[in-house]
Structure 1
Amino acid sequence: MPARPMSGVRVVEVAQFTYVPVSGAVLADWGADVIKVEHAVSGDAQRGLRNLGGSESMGGFAPLMEHPNRSKRGIGLSLEKPEALDVLYDIVRNSDVFVTNFLPDARTRLKIDVEHIRAINPNIIYVRGSALGVRGPEAGKGGYDSPSFWCRGGSAFGATPPSMNAALNQPGPAWGDTIGGMNIAGGIAAALFAREKTGEPSIVDVSLLASGAWANALAVDVALNGGPIMGGTEPRTASPGNPLTGMYATADGRFINLCMLQPGRYWADFCDHIDRRDLVKDPQYATAEQLMRNWEPAAQIIADALGRETLAFWIEKFETLEGQWGAVQNALEVGNDVQLRANGYIATVVDNDGVERELLTSPVQFDETPAAPGRAPQFAEHTDEILKEIGADEGRIIDLKIAGAVT
């Protein structure tokens, strides 16, 4: 297997929940040695959440922890104790990146803010993942992806049709956290590149709000420049002017999205695939202009045709379709998508009980090589191993445990 691009990079992560830890999981997919620091007693607060495919339902394997913490090593440190802080600083001395989502007051109190970490390692890249950014009147506030990314960032408004007497929730758990974490990983990669070129380490900032706004950047740009405020649209079969775009229902109540932005180019081939070759010579649809002018009756014909067969039928039938389309899939169908699996984006991971599990990998591959993640660490699993790496002998390890500084 070729060397992964982050091999040799050490990342220290003082963070919990999903948003910032996802960045460490991505970097670990890319080959980095990521050391996850948890509180020596309470651990990552997310370990206490068991209502989302947690350890009770999966025999100790909790996707809620595995998703953001795969392939990391774990150490338990009570950073409020001077002895534990000394251990953290010893790890920092030989690390490339320090990443945290602790709030400003906590960073100052625990002596892990920029000035503290840079005093130990002036060359380290310091990374802050926040809810709302590090400046402005709300810089000290925390948050989660649902209010900060999805709602405040514009996605809830943009996804909700006007007729709904409510706002749509995120499509799934950790939606904004996962996207935001990927943004952090990209920022870290750029900062490592810049340090290699210039010798100067960066301070990297990424917020959930900015990530959510970036996901809606085109709509924001249009609105800021005098265009319409784009809200959600009502469910419809086709987009006005183009019958080969939009959502179409199948006989079993499922949906197919057509997205052929050049309808004239794809019309004949599409008609062949729905067994309506007669439509190609119909004068209403003989040219692209006529097809777009008569989009409503064309859309009804397509709706009637697709509505006569099941989604599975059309997935097989459309394997040779030239135009662009996609089935509306649920999470399990996504996990079993033939293209994801053919390209190595579903990895097998052996859990702590020796059971083979599957995880979706991060989307970037290098040298045509799929990521090969390991499981997430058990609570503080590598404490002794990491302590020995920083030169602690058995006596110091015992003293640290007696003092309650380490797990």
Structure 2
Amino acid sequence: MRPLEGVRVLEVAMYGFVPSGGAVLADWGADVVKIEHAVTGDPQRGLRRTGAFHVEGDPNPNIEHANRGKRSLGLDMSKSASREVLEGLIRRADVFLTSFLPAARRRFGIDVDDVRAINPGIVYARGSALGPRGAEAERGGYDATAFWARAATAASLTPPGVEGMISPPVPAYGDTISGTNLAGGIAAALFRRERTGETSVVDVSLLGSGLWAMGHGIALSLLLGEPWVPAPPGAHASPVNPLTGLYRTADDRYISFVMLQPAKFWADVCRHVDRPELADDPRFATGEDLAANTAEAVAILREVIGARPLAEWAERFATLAGPWAPVQDAVQAGQDAQVRANDYIVRAGRLELVASPVQFNVAAPDLGPAPEFAAQTEEILMELGLDWERIIALKEAGAVT
């Protein structure tokens, strides 16, 4: 049994951020009903081009990633006839999850007080761009603006002298991270309600999540009064540690070493690269010596590692004591044997999708595909007790798909 089985979530949200939070809840076993506009649906369904990729037909990863395992109901909340359906769904839900801006929440009668008047015990969760307070609380935004650009990640990755900023690596990068934060907050609120009977309003923003991801660097920058600036391209990562940085292999791949205690691992690295004599070299005898002679050690390792391909180093470094990793692209990561061994990528319908990162009892979630637009409308309406005569009347009124 998954931990949130029996929990009902009503999702009134669009695009990637908040729906990805609903996807995590679905991964954990919740019954997530996704309300989409009765005619146009979630605008994310229309996004077919992302970067250099263009997806024709279905399945569309742009909608599948953040909506797997849900049920879709087409509802036009601007129609007065839709109110009985909306209220019926709210009445039986444990969680109300929304990405709508404050003005839209007020217009559709789905703000906190509106929803609590129908179901006082519901957990009300909202995702925003810039947070629920302050002069800009009513403004919208996307992960590329609030998470990536405004919360300092872009500037912290963009090398000096580069015009503009480094763009996010993939679509919905900040959305997915923020959605996972939102799902965790909802789970905590459900736990609190279970223990105390008291309910909560859960807020997560793209801006807050971006700052949290940058938390270590921002704390240092505020302490020292200096922005975080990346090293120039090609520079070794640490001026005082040869075992923290990138090394190119003979086949133009890269290996990342992150050994924060270089003296502890230096001799082992020397043995694994067939240069055991370097372990006794007085230039590298202690941590202080390694720090003082990092440039020389880096030059030696670059030459040695650059003489063999990644596959050979991967075999040799299987017994290396210190942390290291191959630098992989998205295809290579998706094919990684360790990724597959842990079921971090699983099948959901016709697609393979990345599972949400939390596992329970050493098992991957059982993912279902994202629903087709409004596919479960009649099913959900019948669960609310509406008969076919009433359902047809709602369809004729344009309230439901």
Q: TM-score range by the shorter chain?
A: over 0.9
Q: Deviations over 1:351-392 (max 9, x none)?
A: 3xxxxx211100000111111110000000000000010000
Equivalent residue runs for 1:236-385 within 5 Å: 236-351=235-350, 357-385=351-379
Query: Structure 1 residue 227: deviation in Å?
Result: 4.6
User: Which residue type is aligned with residue 403 of structure 1?
Assistant: A
Conservation of the 8 A alpha-carbon contact between 1:80 and 1:110: yes
Structure 2 Cα separation of the partners of residues 240 and 27 of structure 1:
44
Partner of 1:404: 398
- The alignment partner of 2:131 has SS state of coil
Query: Structure 1 residue 338: deviation in Å?
Result: 1.3
User: Which residue type is aligned with residue 348 of structure 1?
Assistant: R
Structure 2 Cα separation of the partners of residues 237 and 309 of structure 1:
20
Counting matched residue pairs gives: 400
Structure 2 Cα separation of the partners of residues 55 and 387 of structure 1:
37
Conservation of the 8 A alpha-carbon contact between 2:231 and 2:237: no
Partner of 1:217: 215
Partner of 1:194: 192
Unaligned runs of 5+ in 2: none
User: Which residue type is aligned with residue 327 of structure 2?
Assistant: V
- The alignment partner of 1:230 has SS state of coil
Q: Deviations over 1:304-333 (max 9, x none)?
A: 111112222222221111111111111111
Query: Structure 1 residue 253: deviation in Å?
Result: 2.2
Query: Structure 1 residue 165: deviation in Å?
Result: 2.6
Structure 1 Cα separation of the partners of residues 400 and 54 of structure 2:
27
- The alignment partner of 1:156 has SS state of helix
Q: TM-score, normalised by structure 2?
A: 0.97
Partner of 2:150: 152
Distance 1:54 1:150, change over 3 A: closer
Q: Deviations over 1:246-299 (max 9, x none)?
A: 111222222211101111111111111111112112222223322222111111
- The alignment partner of 2:271 has SS state of helix
Q: Deviations over 1:102-121 (max 9, x none)?
A: 11111111111111111110
Partner of 1:138: 136
- The alignment partner of 1:127 has SS state of strand
Q: Deviations over 1:91-139 (max 9, x none)?
A: 1111100010111111111111111111110000111100011111111
Q: Deviations over 1:53-98 (max 9, x none)?
A: 9997464100000000000001000000112121011011111000
Conservation of the 8 A alpha-carbon contact between 1:163 and 1:234: no
Structure 2 Cα separation of the partners of residues 256 and 237 of structure 1:
12
Distance 1:270 1:55, change over 3 A: closer
Distance 1:107 1:53, change over 3 A: same
Q: Deviations over 1:190-216 (max 9, x none)?
A: 100111111111001111011111111
- The alignment partner of 1:406 has SS state of coil
User: Which residue type is aligned with residue 203 of structure 2?
Assistant: D
Conservation of the 8 A alpha-carbon contact between 1:153 and 1:213: yes
**1:389 matches 2:388:** no
Structure 1 stretch 176-185 or stretch 57-66: which is displaced more? 57-66
Partner of 2:163: 165
Query: Structure 1 residue 223: deviation in Å?
Result: 2.6
Distance 1:55 1:214, change over 3 A: closer
User: Which residue type is aligned with residue 179 of structure 2?
Assistant: G
User: Which residue type is aligned with residue 190 of structure 1?
Assistant: A
**1:116 matches 2:114:** yes
Structure 1 stretch 26-35 or stretch 162-171: which is displaced more? 162-171
Return the match for 1:15 from 10, 13, 16: 13
Structure 1 Cα separation of the partners of residues 214 and 349 of structure 2:
38
- The alignment partner of 1:225 has SS state of helix
When the two chains are superposed, the root-mean-square deviation of aligned CA atoms in Å is: 1.6
